[in-house]
Amino acid sequence: MSPIKPIEIDCKKVGPATVMTLSGHISTAESRLVSENLERIIAEKTLNLVVDMSGVDIITSDGLGALIRARKSSGEAGGTVVLSGLQGNILDIFRMTRLDKIFSLYDSVDEAVASFPT
């Protein structure tokens, strides 16, 4: 069993988007922190949000719920949340839960940012 890696969250503006980079484990406790950060970014009227998941090793249903709520809140505000860098088990989870049908998934942050109008 791998040791729990605390979640790390970094946000920066890249072109027409805000990129939130997540790394580590998104378990039940960490999902609250992720959710709070997503809500704050959306409340700042961010319309184009990329969540970079390339550094995420584990995500629980609470973490998935945080992303789903962010997508809904952003959509209600006229914005869009897309995901990038999903790989391995994380990508498998999105496919098994069919979340790959409701989120736009991109291989890289650059591709995700390029999907937004400038």
Residue 96: inside a domain: yes
Residue 3: inside a domain: no
The dihedrals phi and psi of 56, each to the nearest 5 degrees, come to -85, 125
Pair of tokens at residue 109: 């942050």
1 pLDDT exceeds 60? no
Question: How many domains is the chain built from?
Answer: 1
In angstroms, what CA-CA distances link 13 with 16, 19, 48, 59, 77?
A: 8, 6, 10, 25, 19
Residue 88: inside a domain: yes
Residue 27: inside a domain: yes
Quickly count helices (H) and strands (E) in the chain: 4, 5
CATH (domain of 82) = 3.30.750.24
pLDDT digits (tens, 9 = 90+) for 5-59: 789 999 999 999 999 999 999 998 899 999 999 999 999 999 999 999 999 999 9
Residue 2: inside a domain: no
Residue 102: inside a domain: yes
Q: Report the mean per-residue pLDDT for the chain.
A: 94
Pair of tokens at residue 65: 């719920």
3 pLDDT exceeds 90? no
Residue 44: inside a domain: yes
101 pLDDT exceeds 80? yes
Domain region containing 79:
8-113
**Range of lowest pLDDT (6-10, 48-52, 100-104, 108-112):** 6-10
Residue 48: inside a domain: yes
Share of the chain above pLDDT 70, in %: 97
